[in-house]
């Protein structure tokens, strides 16, 4: 089944960052088969989409989030990370049921799809429910069961992770891939991380871990082990495996050299890091060292949205201000991190670019908006001015998931009702316990 998007403008995000005007895009099944000048087609198409006045771009890749935490949006704001975790988030998460995680994930997916995200990386628990939601929604997902290596459930988390990988790797027509998710060096001691490495060697999937998110974390690891979190992971042989490291805010020059040497991938989460007062990651330095960096929202409990357009904008603006350099991160660099490089950060090589042979994961933006006129620079428009409400169409694997602001695979009204009800019940249960 073929779809033709006719007479449109395309930001390819290929290696040359080609911008095509008056172009056609052909989707054949799950893949893009043609991107080039518009022409008179002799073949039949199941669907023809008028692309005039619209922009086609790769869908956004959210390189780090905790989708089900959307149920905790605005529940615990304006407090430091460790207080936020230990006093507010972990206690209420202990009461979450499988159904809560399913509907919290569904709420997140509705938000992500409508704002142009076509791939997300998620670390949480009850991950079967996260995977089921992703499979049902039609989105692309890179999933791992979060593991904490202290407490009674440490070994159980390893077993659940193994079973999850075996059960879900490649499911959903290949849209679902898996990782192993040790939470962080401060919650996973070295002996536990060695068990994770043994499991990784057995399953041959990447690792997803929080690293150097706060100054307190770095101090804790230094006090316990005499080294930085990055150096600790390196000494354990952890970084010799495929690794996606989330946050990486407080890094030394040696840390970055180690990460570059081992090709560690990074998920930069500017919004969450700002809101929790964690700091600002050294993004220009990471990029200068050739480190692959994607952008993530983190969970909606610490952001408080899952809007990748906002993360692109923050990534570009924040580092200009911090470095007193308007060229520190350009609009083009921000868009690359949100698409092509974000896909690489998740070890995906067939998404993030509008090109023949790539998966048809794309968005269409309505350019007929006051804030997108005049069209001097469409990349700058997309990064600095565009809004999720400008998104006309979202497609994943050749299937339309959202059109004219309406979800096509999910019942948005039902999701909103279920999410609100379950969030309210969690608060009632909290009051009863107190």
pLDDT tens by residue, 123-172: 999 999 999 999 999 999 999 999 999 988 999 999 999 999 999 999 99
Residues 366 and 245 in one domain: no
Residues 134 and 187 in one domain: yes
pLDDT attached to residue 33: 98
Q: Is 413 within the bounds of a domain?
A: no
Distance CA 238, CA 200 (A): 10
Residues 267 and 162 in one domain: yes
Residues 239 and 364 in one domain: no
Residues 214 and 327 in one domain: yes
Residues 6 and 78 in one domain: no
**Backbone torsion region of residue 237, taken as left when φ is above 0, otherwise alpha when ψ lies between -120 and 50, otherwise beta:** left
pLDDT attached to residue 266: 99
Provide the number of structural domains found in the chain. 2
Does the pTM exceed 0.85?
A: yes
Which stretches of the chain drop beneath a pLDDT of 70?
429-434
Residues 272 and 320 in one domain: yes
Domain that holds residue 112: 60-345
pLDDT, tens digit, for every residue of 264-282?
999 999 999 999 999 999 9
Q: Is 44 within the bounds of a domain?
A: yes
pLDDT attached to residue 152: 87
Domain of residue 28, CATH code: 2.30.40.10
pLDDT attached to residue 79: 85
Residues 335 and 286 in one domain: yes
Residues 311 and 390 in one domain: no
Boundary residue ending a domain (345, 374, 389) = 345
Domain of residue 200, CATH code: 3.20.20.140
Residues 70 and 27 in one domain: no
Residues 103 and 7 in one domain: no
Residues 170 and 48 in one domain: no
């Amino acid at each position: 089944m073929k779809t033709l998007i006719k007479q449109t403008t395309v930001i390819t995000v290929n290696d040359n960052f080609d911008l095509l005007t008056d172009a056609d895009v052909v989707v054949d099944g799950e893949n893009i088969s043609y991107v080039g000048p518009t022409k008179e087609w002799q073949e039949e198409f199941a669907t023809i989409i008028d692309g005039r006045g619209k922009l086609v771009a790769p869908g956004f890749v959210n390189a780090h989030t905790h989708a089900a935490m959307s149920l905790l949006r605005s529940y615990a704001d304006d407090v430091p990370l460790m207080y936020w975790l230990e006093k507010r988030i972990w206690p209420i998460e202990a009461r979450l049921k499988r159904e809560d995680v399913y509907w919290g994930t569904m709420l997140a997916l509705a938000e992500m799809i409508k704002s142009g995200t076509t791939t997300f990386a998620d670390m949480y628990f009850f991950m079967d429910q996260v995977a089921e939601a992703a499979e049902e929604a039609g989105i692309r997902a890179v999933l791992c069961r979060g593991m904490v290596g202290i407490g009674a459930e440490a070994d159980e988390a390893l077993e659940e992770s193994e079973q999850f990988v075996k059960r879900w790797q490649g499911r959903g027509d290949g849209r679902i891939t898996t990782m192993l998710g040790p939470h962080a060096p401060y919650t996973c001691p070295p002996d536990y991380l060695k068990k994770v490495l043994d499991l990784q060697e057995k399953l041959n999937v990447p690792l997803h871990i929080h690293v150097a998110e706060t100054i307190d974390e770095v101090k804790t690891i230094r006090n316990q082990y005499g080294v930085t979190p990055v150096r600790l992971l390196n000494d354990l042989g952890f970084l010799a495996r495929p690794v996606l490291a989330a946050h990486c805010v407080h890094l030394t020059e040696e840390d970055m050299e180690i990460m570059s040497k081992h090709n560690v991938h990074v998920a930069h989460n500017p919004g969450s890091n700002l809101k929790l007062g964690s700091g600002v990651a050294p993004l220009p330095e990471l990029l200068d060292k050739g480190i692959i960096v994607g952008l993530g929202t983190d969970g909606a409990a610490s952001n408080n949205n899952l809007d990748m357009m906002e993360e692109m904008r923050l990534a570009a603006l924040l580092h200009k201000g911090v470095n007193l350099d308007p060229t520190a991160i350009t609009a083009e660099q921000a868009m690359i991190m949100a698409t092509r490089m974000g896909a690489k950060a998740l070890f995906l090589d067939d998404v993030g670019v509008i090109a023949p042979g790539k998966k048809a994961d794309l968005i269409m933006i309505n350019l007929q908006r006051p804030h997108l006129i005049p069209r001097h620079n469409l990349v700058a428009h997309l990064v600095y001015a565009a809004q999720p409400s400008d998104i006309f169409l979202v497609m994943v694997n050749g299937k339309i998931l959202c059109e004219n602001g309406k979800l096509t695979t999910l019942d948005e009204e039902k999701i909103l009702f279920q999410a609100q009800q379950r969030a309210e019940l969690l608060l009632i249960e909290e009051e009863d316990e107190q």
